[in-house]
Amino acid sequence: MESLKIEYLTEDKLIVKSKYWEVVHEANKGGCISSIRFYNGTNQNILLKPVTSYMGPFQDVLNRDAKIKATNEGRRIIVNVAGELKTLNNSIKSGIAYNYSYKYHEGYVKVTESFHLEKGLGGIRGIGIGCMEITPEMTYFAARESPISAQDRIPRGERLCRCPADWGKINFDGKPC
């Protein structure tokens, strides 16, 4: 039985749903996640703004025509997003292409963000990846490290942690990234 579903609200907006939560991606907001709702909580969007990544003045969320492709593989849904980082008025071409892959499973999502810079990082000040502003009611998080990236840092035979996830208190001090 498939527990995850894809719904297209419009051709630019898609929702990935489970029995417990839903996530909205919007092509006219860079393909970024613009809403996360948990049905058994407040059932309201926990994001104050879309999840965004930036390099200097260039942001994914400012791209109004990102390409989104969703694939239902039964027990998981893969959402691929492609676009170019933009400025607010699109006055400067960034030359920074991005590709995001969201692999949704019932209990977690694995996000991979990659960037291709035509000109390198010269002159870019400030980089933020996966920045989010969430409702103040959200006070704790759980995260686990990717086994692929962990292999490079953890000596063979050692466990990443004693529990499946690390828990922490959210403290952004008013800054999303």
Residue 153 included in any domain: no
In 3D space, the residue among 130, 133, 113 whose CA is nearest the CA of residue 174 turns out to be 133
Host domain of residue 42? 5-134
78, 154 contact by CB (below 8 A): no
Q: Report the CATH number at residue 45.
A: 2.70.98.10
Residue 162 included in any domain: no
pLDDT at 49 over 90: yes
How many distinct structural domains can be found in the chain?
1
pLDDT at 72 over 50: yes
**DSSP secondary structure of 122-138:** TT---EEEEE--B-TT-
Residue 69 confidence class, pLDDT cut points 50, 70, 90 = very high
Q: What's the chain's average pLDDT?
A: 84
Residue 103 included in any domain: yes
Residue 161 included in any domain: no
Residue 57 included in any domain: yes
Residue 127 included in any domain: yes
pLDDT in tens, 131-169: 988 888 877 777 766 555 444 444 444 444 445 667 777
Residue 1 confidence class, pLDDT cut points 50, 70, 90 = very low
Residue 149 included in any domain: no
